[in-house]
Amino acid sequence: MEEPGRRIVREEMLAEGTALPWVDPIAFARRAIALALADRKAARRLRGWVFFDRGLIDASLTLQHWTGKPALERSRRSHRYHRRVFLAPPWPEIYVTDGERRHGLDAAIAEYQRLIAAYPSLGYEVTVLPKVGVTERADLILRTLAGG
């Protein structure tokens, strides 16, 4: 499933909306939560492995970051993903911004630190992906999942 944030940014920019992370991060996070929930529902119809590029936990942690209040604690427990979560650390050598991702590397690192701390506290097993090519990372993910 494509990252909710990028889809929201595209929609908001086309509609000249304000639920953008650099304009109204709280509205953006709330939309990301709604979209992540819809993605989970849509994924039930799919067969085989379904990979979510970000999702409910990322979105609710973003909302918590901006409001200072716990977001969707019950929902994060009742809408569990697979116990194994794969996180790609910020990689300065390939990190780029674009029209949909305007935050810099420092913000990406801070967000990664929040995620790497939060996922285990929610009962997930985190595998940090190595800084290697896409094929090698994909192979690692599939080997890891095949093993349990």
pLDDT averaged per 10 residues, the chain (length 148): 94 96 96 94 93 92 90 68 93 88 91 93 94 94 87
Question: Both ends of the chain: CA-CA distance in Å?
Answer: 22
Give 3-state DSSP helix, strand, coil % of the chain, rounded to 5: 55, 5, 40
- Predicted pLDDT at 73: 65
Degrees (nearest 5) of the Cα angle 96, 100, 101?
Answer: 40
- Predicted pLDDT at 72: 64
Count of the separate structural domains present in the chain: 1
Token reading at 118: 């939060």
The boundaries of the domain holding residue 126 are 4-146
pTM (predicted TM-score): 0.87
Degrees (nearest 5) of the Cα angle 133, 35, 73?
Answer: 95
Closest CA to 111 of 3, 31, 14, 1: 3
- Predicted pLDDT at 107: 92
24: alpha, beta or left? (left if phi > 0; alpha if psi -120 to 50): beta
